[in-house]
Amino acid sequence: MAKKGVPLSEMATSDTHGEDSPYFVGWKVYDENPYDAASNPSGVIQMGLAENQVSFDLLEDYLEQHPQEFGWGCGVSSFRENALFQDYHGLKTFTRAVALFMEQIRGGRTQFDPQHIVLTAGATAANELLTFILADPGDGLLIPTPYYPGFDRDLRWRTGVNIIPVHCNSSNGFQITLRALEDACAGAESMKVRVKGLLLTNPSNPLGTTITRPVLEEILDFVAHKDIHLISDEIYSGSVFSSDEFVSMTEIVESRGHQERERVHIVYSLSKDLGLPGYRVGTIYSYNNEVVTTARRMSSFTLVSSQTQKMLASLLSDKEFTENYLRTNRERLKKRYEFVVEGLSNAGIRCLQGNAGLFCWMNLGELLEEPTVEGELSLWNLMLHEAKLNISPGSSCHCLEAGWFRVCFANMSQQTLEVALMRMKDFTEKMKAKQMISSL
């Protein structure tokens, strides 16, 4: 960006927005040439966006039966009240509904108090808000790798906080180990960075796996020992293929009689599980009253439209609907996942065994010219421009092992997915043939 003319801030002119990373570059290429079965069959298929479109019909059915809720959301008599409503506590009916929904996802194994819910315009804002509250500029947040590329921007840009990666690897399925946590802390110390918290994504993005109970226990012990905060981003908690495979950090906290709960904060949103990213509904759930109060005050910068709250309050409070939705959505995601894994397997591509999320974590290491970031990006580029598939390279997610890629499968129709898998197969065959020839 040109710096001449009227001076702007460092923030405006820095590139910490991270949008030059391949993760976002791929999106731009897709935007310029998006696939459409009828009008643009040779366009780029977007497999780099974790959006859930598989269950829209369920929402549309609900709408057909309850049209007044999706109209302008407010009945005549309550329009005025709704239009004026900007209470940071959120609409009571809505926060209660969100609490209930979060409980349902966890099979009723934990309870959520609506008064501890702080609403934000999306989980992006929730994560940034917590970072502002828990850490000062120059402090560090531990984040296990690979992690969601957006964190580099969302957690660092305006906050001035550093991300300290906790490196995980394929030797144990990328599980977080105590050793990795300790190493990361030691690294931070040597850089004179004060670690203030650990941010987990559970289920993990980009791995598509849930964190096991023993590891969660170990993590809670670790943060307690280090006297730091723990943010558990559980936005994919409703997208676990088998509901009993998900253990929330809230369950660990409750199983310990609420010890250590003052340091645990949950982030949730309706963007993934409910497929409503456009609605901008995120939430922070904290057991810590001070955090709740502070987050609530700061949520002034990122309030959820009162109309949206009203619209969704009824939908989320409808237990019959939500139970059916959660169950059906899980089944469909599971089916998609299995379909993709099979398709990739036919192309000779292995995936990490996943059990959640809108994506799978696949390994194309064999196709790399060299097992480095450059090799990985070169392959990614080829896939984008030749196979016209936008997938996310592991290096964007700070994965130390080259060759891993995240592939999203829930943001398109079944037909498009089939086309994508076909292209993947053709591409890998071509690459393998090339490799054979060059090795002769």
Partner 1 sequence: MRVIVPLQAVVQGRGGLVLGSLIPCALFYFLQLYIRRDRRSSSASNLPELAPMPRSLSRSLLSPRGSSGPARLSSRGASVARDDDNPYYVGLKRCAEDPYHHSSNPRGFMQLGLAENWLSLDMIRDWLVGNVKEPLLLDEEGELSIHGLATYQPYDGLMDLKMAVAEFMGQVMQGSVSFHPSQIVLTAGATPAVETLSFCLADPGNAFLVPSPYYPGWDRDIKWRTGIELIPVPCRSTDNFSISIAALELAYNQAKKRGVKVCAVLVSNPSNPVGNLIDRETLYDLLDFVMEKNIHLISDEVFAGSTYGNDRFVSVAEVLDSENFDRRRVHIIYGLSKDLCVPGFRIGVIYSYNENVLAAASKLARFSSISTPTQCLLISILSNTKFITEYLKVNKEQLCDMHALFVDGLKRLGIKCASSSGGFYCWADMSMFIQSYNEKGELKLWDKLLNEAKINVTPGSSCHCIEPGWFRCCFTTLTKQDIPIVMERIHRITESN
Residues belonging to the active site: 148, 233, 235, 272
Q: Is 6 in the site for partner 1 (CB under 8 A)?
A: yes
Q: Shortest Cβ distance from residue 425 to partner 1 (Å)?
A: 28
Q: For residues 267 and 304, which CB has a smaller minimum distance to partner 1 in the complex?
A: 304
Taking CB under 8 A as the binding criterion, the range among 99-107, 135-143, 206-214, 318-326 that sits at the site for partner 1 is: 135-143
311-330: contacts with partner 1 (CB under 8 A): 311
Q: For residues 265 and 431, which CB has a smaller minimum distance to partner 1 in the complex?
A: 265
Q: Is 9 in the site for partner 1 (CB under 8 A)?
A: yes
Q: Is 374 in the site for partner 1 (CB under 8 A)?
A: no
Q: Is 413 in the site for partner 1 (CB under 8 A)?
A: no
Q: Is 154 in the site for partner 1 (CB under 8 A)?
A: yes
SS (H, E, C) 117-155: EEEECCHHHHHHHHHHHHCCCCCEEEEECCCCCHHHHHC
Q: Return the ∠ at Cα 132 (arms to 127 and 135), rounded to 5°.
A: 105
Taking CB under 8 A as the binding criterion, the range among 33-41, 157-165, 339-347, 375-383 that sits at the site for partner 1 is: 157-165
277-296: contacts with partner 1 (CB under 8 A): 277-281, 288, 290-291, 293-294
Residue 392, beta-bridge partner list: 406
Q: Is 97 in the site for partner 1 (CB under 8 A)?
A: no
Q: Is 388 in the site for partner 1 (CB under 8 A)?
A: no
Q: Distance from CA of residue 166 to its chain's centroid?
A: 18
**Overall size of the chain counted in residues:** 440
Nearest Cα residue to 421 out of 360, 350, 346: 346
What is the DSSP secondary structure assignment for residue 363, as one 8-state letter?
A: E
For residues 221 and 27, what is the distance between their CA atoms, to the nearest angstrom? 39
Are 306 and 86 in contact, with CB atoms under 8 Å apart?
Answer: yes
Q: Shortest Cβ distance from residue 403 to partner 1 (Å)?
A: 20
179-198: contacts with partner 1 (CB under 8 A): 191, 196
Q: Shortest Cβ distance from residue 245 to partner 1 (Å)?
A: 26
Q: For residues 163 and 351, which CB has a smaller minimum distance to partner 1 in the complex?
A: 163
Q: Shortest Cβ distance from residue 360 to partner 1 (Å)?
A: 20
- Quickly list DSSP for 364-406: -GGG-SSSSHHHHHHHHHHHHHTS-EE-EEGGGGT-SSTTEEE
Cα torsion 346, 350, 354, 358: sign: negative
For residues 153 and 58, what is the distance between their CA atoms, to the nearest angstrom? 33
Q: Which of 33, 40, 53, 242 binds partner 1 (CB under 8 A)?
A: 53
Q: For residues 90 and 343, which CB has a smaller minimum distance to partner 1 in the complex?
A: 90
Q: For residues 57 and 426, which CB has a smaller minimum distance to partner 1 in the complex?
A: 57
Taking CB under 8 A as the binding criterion, the range among 200-208, 221-229, 333-341, 419-427 that sits at the site for partner 1 is: 221-229
Q: Is 14 in the site for partner 1 (CB under 8 A)?
A: yes
Q: Which of 30, 110, 128, 407 binds partner 1 (CB under 8 A)?
A: 128
If one counts every other C-beta atom within 10 angstroms of the C-beta of residue 331, the result is: 14
Are 120 and 308 in contact, with CB atoms under 8 Å apart?
Answer: no
Q: Is 303 in the site for partner 1 (CB under 8 A)?
A: yes
Q: Which of 67, 171, 225, 437 binds partner 1 (CB under 8 A)?
A: 67
Q: Which of 23, 47, 48, 162 binds partner 1 (CB under 8 A)?
A: 162
Phi, psi (deg, nearest 5) at residue 177: -115, 155
- Which whole-number Å values give the CA distances from 436 to 50, 230, 378, 424, 430, in the listed order? 34, 48, 18, 18, 10
Burial of 254 (0-12, 13-18, 19+ CB in 10 A): middle
Query: Under DSSP, is residue 228 helix (H, G, I), strand (E, B) or coil?
Result: coil
Q: Is 121 in the site for partner 1 (CB under 8 A)?
A: yes
Q: Shortest Cβ distance from residue 394 to partner 1 (Å)?
A: 14
Q: Shortest Cβ distance from residue 437 to partner 1 (Å)?
A: 35
Q: Is 34 in the site for partner 1 (CB under 8 A)?
A: no
Size of the site for partner 1 (CB under 8 A): 91
If one counts every other C-beta atom within 10 angstroms of the C-beta of residue 434, the result is: 13
